[in-house]
Chain A
Amino acid sequence: MAVFQAALINEIEKLYKKKKAVVAILLSLAVIVIGQLAIVGVRSGFGLRGAGSVEFPMLVLAVVVNIILPLFTALVAIDSFSGEFSQNSMRITLTRPVSRFKIFSAKITAIVLFTLATLLLLLIFSMLAGFIFNTNSGTLDSFARTVLSYLVSVLPLVVLALGIVLLANLFKSGISVFFVSILVFIVLKVLGVVFSQYSSLLMTSQLDWYNLFLVNSFPLGKIVRQFFLMLGSGIMLFIAGFYFFDKKEF
């Protein structure tokens, strides 16, 4: 466990010192500013309400979870694997007394923590913006559901990151991984629209699963089914990614 802990601290330090992750978080927060400005503009220009204090964070989540966070998660995941493959800096860690499984797991955990930290920061700042600038329309129940929606959104993003990590271990260049990831993402989004009855199976549609937690009847069956679907695909992608990482020669 101490070895894994060391590997994880190293990965987090690298993420922080590379500043890419910090910039990604700052850009995500910029969405709140832009979103809030748009709502204030709509309100003063057209006299429309725009969004209430609790609705605003959900509006932010809808944008962030479908566009911005997948993009930044991809960038961080690609940098963590393809970036180190191309610079040969993966050797620095690989020649230390730490197994490849622990290195791989530490990298994945660091990506998960990055995604979670971004979501939590977005939640805090969007709520603050919502309460400061918008009409107060929230109840304790809607507040709890908002927090839950942000927290559960980490799961589909992790599955997405695992898919990108698998691609990073299959392709040599980081740019190829990035473009293939975008292409696959678009194809899955289109498939989700065309075959809407099967969309719950696609990881791009699963990004919106937080909506299940907003339904008043709380569809437990659907939530459990979606959870196991994501868990299953996550496990498969993790194993496949590790298989190729373990076979890699440096």
Chain B
Amino acid sequence: MEKVIEIKNLTKLYKNGRGIKDINLDIFQGDIFGFLGPNGAGKTTAMKIMTGLVRPQSGDVNILGYSVTEEYENAMEKVGCLIEIAEAYPYLSAFDNLKQLARYYPNVDHQRIDEVLEITGMSKYKDEKPTKFSLGMKQRLGLAAAVLSRPKVVILDEPLNGLDVEGMIAIRKIILHLAETEQTTFFISSHLIHDVELTCNRIGVIYNGEMLNVETTQTILSNYATLENYFVSEVEQYGRVSSCAD
């Protein structure tokens, strides 16, 4: 299977000691990769490096064969992303916000903008400005922006933040549909373990800035009753190993 994302020896440590340490990870085409970890584990840091918002201290990320630090434009050409809170220009309508992004992709026209607004259930608000949007609506607009260019790779940091149950189900359906029909690869971080279990086919656990394990959801669920049990077991095992090392 084609390697879509390659994370090599990625390290970024902040002054407060948090960050990520020597992370190695390979994501393959068609993967819906769930990036699991508690708050402050380093998920967002890793994803910010993957999308060029933060530079690593060492290591690199290759997306579709291009280095994010060296060949940014090529690396991001077929990538859509949503990092932390979905941002939008408050003085532009939802449609105009997407139109701004569409200019970077020659194959994205107004019809495609309408299409993604329809998919994410934002069509009726397309002429409204995001200042009046709820967090869930902003998140939907962010998702529309992430899939606008028909990307091969979609990086989503906590995409279900602020969404109601209906919204969560809708987004999950979109992810599964795109992965199945267009072989889109997803890299999703979430603290909602149940949702990761339902959506992702491979799962990586990050804890304290270190990558603990990567396993397919199928293998995990054949050994553990739930993904939550697996996560707790991995974290406890890490705790025992690090306390022995101390």
A99-B96 Cα distance, complex, nearest whole Å: 22
Cβ B73 vs Cβ A249 within 8 A = no
Please give the distance in Å from A156's CB to the nearest CB on chain B.
Answer: 30
Which of B22-30, B50-58, B109-117, B200-208 lies on the face that meets chain A? B50-58
- A-B contacts, CB under 8 A, total: 71
Are A98 and B104 CB-contacts (below 8 A) given A250-B48, A250-B53, A250-B54? yes
Closest to A91 in B: B87
A13-B89 Cα distance, complex, nearest whole Å: 11
Contact among A14, A89, A99 for B87, CB-based, below 8 A = A89
Q: Which residues of B contact A249 (CB under 8 A)?
A: 48, 53-55
Q: 1/0 contact trace for B188-215 toward A, CB 8 Å?
A: 0000000000000000000000000000
Cβ B89 vs Cβ A2 within 8 A = no
Q: Which residues of B contact A92 (CB under 8 A)?
A: 87-89, 97, 100-101, 145
At the interface, yes or no: B128 with Cβ under 8 Å from chain A?
no
Cβ B83 vs Cβ A13 within 8 A = no
Please give the distance in Å from A182's CB to the nearest CB on chain B.
Answer: 26
Please give the distance in Å from B158's CB to the nearest CB on chain A.
Answer: 14
Q: Which residues of B contact A98 (CB under 8 A)?
A: 73, 104
Which A positions have Cβ atoms within 8 angstroms of B?
A: 2-3, 6-7, 9-10, 13-14, 17-19, 87-89, 91-92, 94-100, 247, 249-250
List 11 A-B residue pairs with CB atoms under 8 Å apart, sorted by A's residue number.
A2-B106, A10-B100, A13-B100, A14-B89, A14-B91, A92-B145, A95-B76, A97-B73, A97-B105, A98-B73, A99-B73
Task: List 17 other contacts, CB 8 Å, given A17-B96, A96-B104, A97-B79.
Answer: A3-B73, A13-B96, A14-B91, A87-B90, A89-B87, A91-B53, A91-B87, A92-B88, A92-B97, A95-B53, A96-B101, A97-B72, A97-B73, A97-B76, A99-B72, A99-B73, A247-B55
Which B positions have Cβ atoms within 8 angstroms of A?
A: 48, 51-55, 72-74, 76-77, 79, 81, 83, 85, 87-92, 96-97, 100-101, 103-106, 145
